[in-house]
Amino acid sequence: MAKLTPQDACKQTIEVCKAAPVVPVLVIKDVAQARGLGEALVAGGLPALEVTLRTDCALDAIKIMSEIKGGIVGAGTLLTPKDVKNAKAAGATFGVSPGATDELINACEEEGLPLLAGAVTASEVMRLLNRGYTVQKFFPAEAAGGAAVLKSFASPLPQVTFCPTGGIGLHNAKSYLDLPNIECVGGSWVAPTDAVNNGDWAAIETLAKDAVATLSK
Ligand code: 3PG
């Protein structure tokens, strides 16, 4: 298999970011929740889903969610080459990591999994840019200074488009999305733990619809 180039990886991650203003960040503790949760979010207008590899059933959840019509399912919290292999085998079509290591980037290129890698400082952004990654995650967004930092990056680093994640909700998402260098935000607020545990898919679909109605450009 030919290696995925950074340019092709970014073409694919920007499409994921353009799918909707929010990429739900999901921590799935029970695989029985996967289909209902995924279908509710997709029906609510949020097709791109990040399933974090933080639970035992995350890979099985990706397998199930990748069968949902209209869904675009990725694996989050990728830390190691093994995570990349497992995510790809489970059917993930993109990967997300809180930061970036050369080992992880190399593994994603080898496996053909487009990576949305994380950066916080100008040097980290430049390091990813040197490897050809013009689409990046900004994590942890609020704790790292929020939209003000990304607004500041837009002048010296206009070629980089960000997906900020961490501490973002309906109350502050617009402050990011209004910036020229933001295509979408990531967040868990559209899939609150209580609603997921209760299987309240109608509530989750409503949260997704509210996000789309409030935040679409
Ligand atoms: C995470 O890693 O859990 C994401 O950054 C989601 O953050 P949030 O729960 O603050 O939206």
- For 58-90, how does the pLDDT look when each residue is reduced to its tens digit (9 = 90+)? 999 999 999 999 999 999 999 999 999 999 999
Q: Which residues line ligand 1 (CB under 6 A)?
A: 25, 139, 165-168, 187-189
pLDDT computed for residue 191 by the predictor: 98
Verify whether residue 183 is a known catalytic residue: no
Q: Looking at ligand 1, which residue's alpha carbon is closest to its atom 9?
A: 188
Distance CA 133, CA 90 (A): 24
Query: pTM value?
Result: 0.97
Q: 6-210: which CATH topology?
A: TIM Barrel (3.20.20)
Report residue 2's pLDDT band, with 50, 70 and 90 as the boundaries: confident
pLDDT computed for residue 57 by the predictor: 98
Beta bridge partners of 94: 74
Verify whether residue 137 is a known catalytic residue: yes
- CB of 24 within 8 A of CB of 50? yes
Mean pLDDT, residues 174-183 taken together: 98
Token pair for 157: 């680093």
Distance CA 99, CA 121 (A): 11
